[in-house]
Amino acid sequence: MPRKELYHHYQLEIETLSPVSIGCKSQLTSRGEYFLTGNKTHFIDQDGISEILYQNLTEEDKKEYLATVLNQGVDFNFTDFFKNKGISLEQIPISRSLSFIGDATLVNKNRLLKLHIKSGADENQNNSAYFPGSSLKGMIRTAMVYVHLKSHPELVSKFADKINNWSQIDKYELSKEWKVLEDSIIGKEANQLRIADTQNISDTDMAVYQVRREPLYFTESDSELDWLEECVDKGHKIFGALTYVQKNTKELACINFVPNILLGLNEWMTDMLDFEILEIEKSNMPKKEIVLAQLKSLIESSLQNNEYAAIARLGSGKTFMFNTILLLLEKGLRERILMTVLKTDSIKTRILCSHEKAPLKGWIKLNLRKL
């Protein structure tokens, strides 16, 4: 068989069903890197703001500004500072602006704005958002492992026996054991799956969302913890490419490989949604009813037995153990893990958008088309 026939190419279409953020390590603060006006987030041009400082402020004003910014002053209000110096917000140079979904009155607490991962410069010399192929492949890889383990309970039992023999469960050791199990199941198959980074995503498809970590079991002593995230907004389609490499002519996997990807994703996500709904129903989290309604809506629109499309979860806001290990283990060991990692892990919390009508984040719909 000619070499070119060993590569099976597919177009990958990703539709965002809710805001999606694949975070990087970069983040901004409201001390002098961004500010909000109504429903807009403005990213400050640092070269331009330096020029404003040079032209309009006294030496004492400059020292005050720089000292506060560099020392991360908690009470510093960027917009009030410039208004008090006679400089309007319209004069502040900005590099880009995105829609803002949240409560703009809260931003003066100097909260962080976590940025979405960016590509290198495009043809216009701009850094653009995208979905990394590695993130998409990791999501698909985990689904394939999950489906395999679900149909081979003896492997799950062997894994559980090993964990039960530990005197104390350590989440890092647990993650390490899970990785060994994953590699033993799908190491070679995963190497035959190649997913390219998606196309660049324009700012018109991006937005900044106020998000917060909410405990499942909320008490009066719990304080609000919220921040901002740069997200690919809901309701947009992003395109990428998937290639399956058929190693020899005797392989039949190429015929069923892609349909099985989508079937596996749907099975994994349906099980995860069922489990999530049970967890939320037991909770007293503030947005419980809204969250349940949205999760049940995803269940109703889930695509079981669909070979052409799948619903999946991508990006920040999910926990490793919740998405993989816990779904497969019997209740006793599951609860032991939960109680052990509860003090050091966020497994008993959920990251939700603060928008009261649409708190879920990270949900996408995948479509694959043979090229």
Residue 250, judged by CB atoms within 10 A of its CB (0-12, 13-18, 19+), counts as exposed
Higher pLDDT, 50 or 158: 158
Confidence of residue 228 (pLDDT cuts 50, 70, 90): very high
pLDDT at 192 over 90: no
Asked if 50 and 3 count as a contact pair (C-beta separation under 8 A), the reply is: no
Q: Element (H or E) spanning 337, and its range?
A: helix 331-341
* Separation between Cα atoms, residue 277 and residue 272, nearest integer Å: 9
pLDDT at 4 over 80: no
Mean pLDDT of 156-181: 86
- Cβ neighbours, 10 Å, residue 140: 23
pLDDT at 9 over 80: yes
Mean pLDDT of 213-222: 70
- Cβ neighbours, 10 Å, residue 244: 19
pLDDT at 255 over 70: no
Asked if 198 and 131 count as a contact pair (C-beta separation under 8 A), the reply is: yes
pLDDT digits (tens, 9 = 90+) for 311-367: 888 886 555 555 677 888 888 888 787 777 655 555 677 888 888 778 899 999 999
Give the pair of three-digit tokens for residue 309.
């499309």
Confidence of residue 177 (pLDDT cuts 50, 70, 90): confident
pLDDT at 154 over 70: yes
Mean pLDDT of 261-287: 87
Give the pair of three-digit tokens for residue 39.
């429903």
* Mean pLDDT, the chain, whole residue set: 81
The distance between the two most distant Cα atoms of the chain, rounded to a whole number of Å, is 77
SS3 label, residue 175: helix
Confidence of residue 283 (pLDDT cuts 50, 70, 90): confident
297-330 burial string, b = 16+ CB within 10 Å, else e? ebbeebbeeeeeebbbbbbbbebebbbbbbbbbe
* Separation between Cα atoms, residue 258 and residue 262, nearest integer Å: 7
Confidence of residue 125 (pLDDT cuts 50, 70, 90): very low
pLDDT at 124: 47
Residue 67, judged by CB atoms within 10 A of its CB (0-12, 13-18, 19+), counts as exposed
Give the pair of three-digit tokens for residue 33.
């890197």
pLDDT digits (tens, 9 = 90+) for 28-65: 888 778 888 878 999 999 888 888 877 877 888 777 77
Give the pair of three-digit tokens for residue 255.
């015929």
* Separation between Cα atoms, residue 157 and residue 330, nearest integer Å: 9
Q: What is the DSSP letter of 106?
A: G
pLDDT at 106: 61
**CA-closest candidate to residue 42, choices 202, 201, 230:** 230
Mean pLDDT of 84-101: 88
Higher pLDDT, 71 or 54: 54
